[in-house]
Structure 1
């Protein structure tokens, strides 16, 4: 029983009885503004917790949005943390739920035990997690997260969107944990040709912008062997296709999820326009395909302080049409604006 009429959230009839998992995997069909939950969906799928969100009955699901959450926190979300975002067998709408009352989550085992409570402060609603039992990877203590979109009804309960993940604490800073993308590429002699292309075309400067995160598919020196007769400009145009600027790192695991959710292809906005990749995982090994061609991965997932580098033993270009100015799609206007900032 609730004490008010709920705002309509779904604007499509494609899902007559959507579960919490339907919401996670098709959140863009709900009227939730520009909010995105792809990072949390990726973690749910990665740790095999899909059934927790598909389970029938009535449950409460707290779902963190992607906005401005430290990558360190996403990296530390595991199965226990995901369970700590679900109150099973209770449907908790914000207004009638008693404040500061403890609710047991699905993370209620002998080694990890997390409880939640609702708190109101300054006219805003928050959810507070309290890790009562933990270990070296799950610290004891409390985390407070603002509820930014409450009371989204689903067939198996209610979903509340929250500002940051629960039960995950801030990074304990250590000196120089990672190199920036620029210095990773500059310091690796096996990537010197890519670095020199970026230098000649004034691309390297963009990696010094600390307000964005970069995913850089970096060809090795050997990978460029079939493109050495191209002009510096042509090589620069090809290299732009290897850089994605966004608000999150695109790890191989995330690219595999994007490929799966995209019908077999992940569509990426690069500095040269959109490209489509297919990333799959088998027995712990990732494979990548571009333009119907298998791309050999020399070293994926080299984490940097401002992004991630995937070292390739290939180039995302067709040798036979390298001088052709056509691309996977029209160039995005973003590159032109960004280039004006750095030149």
Structure 2
């Protein structure tokens, strides 16, 4: 009898496993040393399979909870550490796994393999059971560039190997030079997919003084299954290796080898040889596996000029909604309106190349906005920092979307994948006010006396001229003491009166184009929640201006659409000097309150 550790998969793991479960399969789940869980470190242990191929141990910690993985199988710790000692003192230890441990297998039992490393894996791949995937093209590039040592070296590595189908079209194979091959290898880490967090960047062998390339994992779910992706990001480029992100699907994951783990991917990393149009088409050909499959399907079904326009562009930036973004129920009826959906598609395109870093640089001193190819439609950017992480949000047509994958590189531009479809509102005016950082001060003021509560009413249609925070700053510069008092509870009534002047309530919401047409010849009175506001609208230099009280006010963001109205973000507050009176001590005096005070003084004076 021998001392052993047995890693036993759950019954359910066997039910979903479709491979062979012969004696060699069983031996791969056994090691001849008894290991309790606390004895499993980050060093490999060796199985009883011929050649003693390693079992890789990974410990991860999330919120102070530690998980242990053997290769890609999670250990069920509460069901493990079962120890039995036989009559000779030999210990048997049992641990339970969520999944089976799958070794490298030959196609035929007549062909023997013994504990292959990554280079031997490449050389013998035609004799291995790899689900009909072939890697001859990549092996050829490894040999041509003399990079055999990278795959032959002892140690701990994660290897990404593109399959043959990913080497089309020519001249893609010629772009896979020594530096690109280095970009497919992570040194010092053995990363199995289940044990590796998404979006954590790992330096590759191509992280040098001249070029810097990292890779990270990601997932995409179509509701039926979850696909795993690996993404390379070239941070520092050179003349042969452009900056940006390249996405590859992991088509066969977690192949253990003597010096680490191999993941087969559907195309090479680092290689940028598609235009934006070609990138979308490739996604569509991959059917539901492509992260932008649904976006291209909508483009195709719309039958407009969208593809022709972006194909003709010398450079562009595309904000592409993910597959999940199109599941929004608000989109079902809209997709049938081809004219509207064409306008929305155009709102996702900028006729210049903008990387994440360029947007961040442009956003440092003011909120960055840029025109789309949709007439009079702009995108507005905001960068949220949390620790060392930066999250980019983009707003268009009242929709705030988060960039979930930035800087996907193309030969004529860059693609940013976002989590919502722009231009399709899903918030009420009230909810938009509560969540838009540019409108924060108006929202805070509107909480006084419950002014904001009416803004969620779906039975009304609002046109709200909302002063952005910059506009309130101008008021503060002119009336510093009064501005301070306006946001205090004691002066809520006065603040509400000012806001009421900005909120038009009618049987419809008015876009800026409609207001311009309505007031082309003369100013017009519109009903507000208090009385009326008299305005006129003009367009100049691709911007709108609202005339109020003989002053032309710039509209910073027109037509922020909401489910029960529209917001127009303006650069000034509709406020008159008579609205804000300041005493010698700097306090606001409301006109009505001042009149009542004067009358009271007269009455008291009669009795003195």
- TM-score normalized by structure 2? 0.28
**Higher Cα radius of gyration:** 2
- TM-score normalized by structure 1? 0.49
